[in-house]
Each structure stands twice: as structure tokens, then as C-alpha cells.
Amino acid sequence: MSQTDDDYEYDLFVDGAFRPGASGDRIDVSFPYDGTVWATVPRGTATDVDRAVAAARDAFEGPWSEFGGSERRRVLDQIADAIDAHTEELAELETRQNGKLVREMRGQMESLSDWYRYYGGLAEDLGGRTIPVENKSETGGMLAYTRKEPLGVVGAITPWNSPLMLTTWKLAPALAAGNTFVHKPSEETPVSALRFAELVAQHTDLPDGVYNVVPGHGTEAGAALVDHEGVDKLAFTGSTTVGRDIASAAGERLIPVTLELGGKSPNIVFESADLENAVNGVVKGIFAATGQTCVAGSRVFVHESIHDEFVDAFTERAADVTLGNPLDPETQMGPVAFRDQWETVRSYVERGAEEGATVAFGGDRPDDLPGECFIEPTVLVDVDNDMTVAREEIFGPVASVIPFADEDEVVDLANDTDYGLAAGVWTEDMRQANRLVERIDAGMVWVNEYRAVSHKVPFGGYKDSGIGRENGAEALDEYVQTKSVWYDQSGDVSDPFSLG
């Protein structure tokens, strides 16, 4: 690896060291703000994945298996300390890869260590249950208990929108449970994963081979990891289309899989809402991160009695958003991550207009900014829930505003989607909020807030938004298997043809 102040040339990270990729080919990484290439990484192949899985297997069966819960906690604390000492550098790397605001990336990096400390605590306390069983009670009974054991080698594949945070949501519980890890980061954002691996190697006692990073394309390195016979569990965050293929591959090999996929989340504003708060919450849901979040509140349902007032206030706020260089702390919205994504967002705006929506604000490239990736915050009105813009994930700053007449209608509209990741409810009527919480089919509901996350609170979706949960104690269950153990206290197996 070579690194100057601004340029990074990493190799792939396998078995505790940086090594050249088998193909010799490299992938360019550019800054979406102006298109400058500032890093290259190897284009990983099936051969590289093979080496990484072999290293992870050796570490799983060898040195890592000797780390008990307290030892794993100590190493997870060391990872947390290494992150805390490098938050500013990591935040800048994230921004230079994906163009998201450095102030958001800084916030993510400052909280990242919480995950390692939290799962470290759970590692120390990772136990099963003792279960009273009454078989043979007249002769002394049985003792039964469970053990939580690791699965083995985890294959993890992550997207570009929050690279290190979404890696951490998998890596921290996987290590806490005693697994080893092979990571294929997005081809758009591989640098922070490699720098993170370097920090782990330099500052912690994690044995070689426990954490491996093979950058590369999804259809090459990603597919090789998904299909590898040596992988015992797959953890994926990304699009529903790719997630479905990964679930099929996991089904074929009968290995467990965690999937965090796309969304088309409803953000619902009732007539009793504090309007200013609700407008801010809707802005937070769809314009923060340039709309490139899986939980984006892209369908904005507004009660018909306040629809026009809301649209006026919302478009005014949209017009006020400061676009610019994501490294500038004053910027509120940066570019989308790459040119193809810009084309996708723009084509959805055009499709919306063709199907009858009205562009109340935005929809175009602002003419005073560099590069090819800026798109204005966009407000579509006259949207029907059946239009393409209301059904498909756009993954950009495009809000579709849809009026509703009453609670039953908005519940039907909110649930009329293939997805079920998140929802927002804006109301001062807490009984109404509670009814909505119960009736909406989504893995997460925020009341008078949007896009809050914590290492302690489960995160995941219903329906086509995924399988399993990340974060919270629930995530640890995704990385263990349960062994049930029986002890016969009676010493009496005299009737071998009876059960128990």
C-alpha cells in the first residue's frame, strides 16, 4: 500500500496483511463532487476470495477459537479506541468516496465505536439458558441447557451509501459471537474498509485472518463470495434485486442470511401535526444524505386539509437547501454518488411528469456547481400511489407528496407497497400515533422524528425490505447457532424403546 497526503493505493487485506490482487487489475475511486480520481484498489477475483475464505477458516478454527468472551470484548474495545482516535480521517475518506456530507459522515464515525463497545459487552455475557425438563423426574430428571456457538466464516457485502457504518452493523456482532469475516465493500467505496483494516491490524490484538477485505465488483468478487462453499453465513446490505439472488444462493446451500434491502417508506403528516416540525422531519427524511438512504421517506402522505399549506412550506424549504462541496461544513446537500445514479434519479423525475405528476420544485442539475452528479432537491405533487415514482425506490432527493382523507385511507396507502422498511408519523394526537404504529407494516416507525438509529435498537425491514435484524441484542442472534445439551441425572437407560 502507498499513501500520500491525498492519494491512496491499497492492496487487498487478507490474513492480516496487504497483498496484491491475483488479476493485477485495479479499480479507480473518485470524488463525486468533481470527478477527481484519488485512490485505486485491486479488482478482486474468485482467487482472492478463495484465499480470504481460507484465511478466515484457519483463524476460526485456530487462534480466534481460543479467545473467550472477555478476550473478544477486550479486542472489540481496542477496535473502538482505534476508531475514536481516527474519526476525522475516516469521515473524510467516506465523503471523498461517496460525496455524502462530511458533517453526516463525522457523526457516523463519532458514534461507530459505540457498536464495538456494546457488542463487546454482549460477547462477555454470551450464554444460553438452563431449561427445567421433567423426563425421568422420578429417577433424578434431566439437566438441559443451551450454548450459543458461532457460525464460522461470515461473508459480508455492503453498499456505498454509509460504508463503514453498515460494515460495522455486521462486523461487531459477528466478532462478538466468535465468527471470522470476509468483507466485499462496494466498488464505489472500498477505501475506508481497507484503511479500517489497517487500523485494526496496527492497533489491536485481533488475530490475522479474522477480518479480511476483498474489494471488487459485485458480479465478480461479490458473486464468488456468495457462492463460496467455505462461507457459513451471508450478511448483505443493498438493493432488493441483488438481495433476492443472494437469498436464493443461501437457500441452495442452506446457510443463514441477513438481508437489509431497499425501501419506499411513507412519511405521514396528520392535520394535528406541528407543521414546522413536520416539514423539517420530511426534509430530514428525503433530502438529508441526498435521499441516498434505504429509509428515505420518499412517499409523503399529507392530510388534505393541510396539503396546500404543507406543499408551500415544503417547497420553500427545498428552495432553501444549500447545495455544494460535501467537505464544506456549511453544505446541506451534496451530489449523488456517481453519474449513473444521477441518470437514474433524473429519469424517475421525467417518468413522474409523464405519468401526471407536477414538479413543484427542482428536478434538474443546478448550473452553478461542478461535476455531473448534482441534482436539486425535488418535490413532486399530484402524485398517485400507483405511479412509478411512488412504487419504485429512487435513491435520490425526490419526494412524492400524496394527499389523504382519513386514517384508514392513509394506512391502506402506506401499506400498499412491496417494501416495509420504515415509516414516519407526524401528529400531536398520541392515541392516533399509537394506532398507526400498530397498523403500519414496517420494521421501524418513528413518531415525530425520522431517521434516528442506535446501536441498541433493532434495524430491519418487513416484506421486500429484508430478512433479519441488525443492531440491538437481536443482531447477535443472527451470528450464533444454538446447541442444546442434555445430561441424564438418573443413570438409567434401561428402557431403550421409550422416548426421553
Per annotation, catalytic residue among 104, 187, 294, 373: 294
Which stretches does DSSP call E strand in 265-397?
266-269, 299-303, 358-361, 378-381
Q: Which is nearer to ligand NAD, 377 or 461 (CB)?
A: 461
CB 30 within 8 A of CB 371: no
Q: Is 373 a known active-site residue?
A: no
Q: Which is nearer to ligand NAD, 311 or 345 (CB)?
A: 345
Instruction: Give the Cα separation of 321 and 332 in Å (integer).
Output: 6
Least distance from ligand NAD to the Cβ atom of residue 473, Å: 18
Instruction: Give the Cα separation of 275 and 269 in Å (integer).
Output: 8
Q: Which is nearer to ligand NAD, 249 or 313 (CB)?
A: 249
Helix or strand run (H / E) with residue 488 = strand 480-488
How much of the chain is in helix, strand and coil states, percent to nearest 5?
A: 40, 20, 40
Q: Is 294 a known active-site residue?
A: yes
Q: Which is nearer to ligand NAD, 44 or 377 (CB)?
A: 44
Residues 6+ away with beta carbon under 8 Å from 53: 153, 155, 182, 225, 228, 230, 231
Instruction: Give the Cα separation of 266 and 494 in Å (integer).
Output: 63
Least distance from ligand NAD to the Cβ atom of residue 129, Å: 30
CB nearest ligand NAD: which residue?
A: 218
Least distance from ligand NAD to the Cβ atom of residue 51, Å: 18
Residues that bind ligand NAD (CB under 6 A): 157-161, 166, 184, 186-187, 218-219, 222-223, 226, 237-239, 242, 245, 260-263, 294, 393, 395, 421, 461, 466
**Torsion, Cα of 263, 268, 273, 275 (10° steps):** 70
Least distance from ligand NAD to the Cβ atom of residue 421, Å: 6
Q: Which is nearer to ligand NAD, 333 or 359 (CB)?
A: 333
Least distance from ligand NAD to the Cβ atom of residue 465, Å: 6
Least distance from ligand NAD to the Cβ atom of residue 469, Å: 10
Question: Cα 224 to the chain's mean position, in Å?
Answer: 21
How many alpha carbons fall within 13 Å on the CB side of residue 293? 25
Q: Which is nearer to ligand NAD, 59 or 226 (CB)?
A: 226
Nearest to 222 by CA among 154, 165, 168, 156: 156
Instruction: Give the Cα separation of 313 and 437 in Å (integer).
Output: 26
Residues annotated as part of the active site: 260, 294
